[in-house]
Structure 1
Amino acid sequence: MDTYHVKSAPITITVMLFVFTFTAFISSSMMIFFVSSMSLITTILTTLIIASCAVALIRLICASKYIFTLTFMHCQYHSRYGGWSTPWGNISQLGTAQLDRQGWQQPLPWIGVKLKDYDEFICNISPRLAARMIIEQRILLIMAIKNSEEDNRVIEDILFDDEPYQGHNGCIFKGLRAMLANRMHYNRQYLGFDFFISEDALDRPMNDFLGLLRRYKAAAIN
């Protein structure tokens, strides 16, 4: 299959935010200049709003143009924190994350990825992104543990487990990479997947993107 780039946030959002920020800047400048009775608090609040919009705009502009690159060989994720990449052959399962509530499966807005081997994935992932994944995806593990028969007192030990982790090939991970490897191990134990892709990061409905990933995976195997 041909290389396919999945774009990040639609450009229309960036354009709209730019127009809003520019308009707000011009309007506030005119108000400060022409309205002499304008209070100091109002001036400060207006400036803060414009500054917030400007920061959001800069973050959108600085974000990666593409968020995923799919080729016949691998799946690669891009972000301003770095990225990760894994061959299709190293992915054993793709699916929707689900939470078990008293025998009922409740779907969550996350795509789950289960790997055959952690080693290459953990070695190549950006440290900043690894930290981001640990922080952002912890809520899934917390919900899974709270809905299991486990004592909730183990949550803290599991979330901050940074014990050295030995990979399948004998590689020993320490520090942040060990914490990510241990987190992936617990994710698999409680949720059935190693890590997750948030629906918020996608440019289309989650099920459509999941189908796209599965088609590339199937083509790579064949």
Structure 2
Amino acid sequence: MEDIDLNNLPKHIAVIMDGNGRWAKSKGAMRIFGHHHGIAAVRETVEACAEMGVGFLTLYTFSTENWGRPKAEVDGIMSLLVKTIGDEVPTLHKNNVRLKCIGDLNMLPNKAKNEMLEGIEKTKNNTGLVLSLALSYSGKWDIVQAIKQIAAKVKSDELKIEDINEQMFNGFLSTFPDPDVDFLIRTGGDHRISNYLLWQSAYAELLFLDDVFWPDFRKKHLIEAVKTYQQRERRFGKTGEQIKTIK
């Protein structure tokens, strides 16, 4: 941790927590076994972000496409979600972490939805790390739901088409008012972003970990990842010389 430049931290880290099922299969266990063991990785990631001073952490917990998985696995994940939120919210609250959720909560079973809403309500006034769980979420869904809201306001004459710009569009995304993603990490070896925070990650730095499944991810992995981030030059379409001049 002492090698981290605290003046050059990503404000918003997003994580695709991949590899739970393959980790479990490698051990001769059912896929849900991997999801259970992924909780420790979530806990250590949250703690590391809070200790470093990262402001926003968003975890890809369950995508809209995941509803197509075998029913037994989906049911197991939903039950695990209910138990985990109930177990972890007191600690999050104690550590000044604010819990949020992005995605179509109406798709969740009532028990999972209510547990999530209770955790959000309990931690809503906390001022530390903002932890967002992407549940029943996809980047395309997020963009479409924003467009629908904007279209409705144009139809009702609350907005004019010429008023629509990137800044205004941001205000209708489920992540608002969180900043765009600076750093996106994916475990499990796949090199894709899988419909995750498509708009918000337009200029994110990407890191794909080929040899780490999510249940094995720990603080040391996040610290090494942040070191990698700090070695990169973020140009946002400008030249390296321009960036150096600005600095």
TM over 0.5: no
Greater Rg by CA: 1
TM-score of the aligned structures, taking structure 2 as reference length: 0.28
The structure, 1 or 2, with the larger RCO (C-alpha pairs under 8 Å, 6+ apart) is: 2
- Which structure has greater helix proportion? 1
- Which structure has greater strand proportion? 1
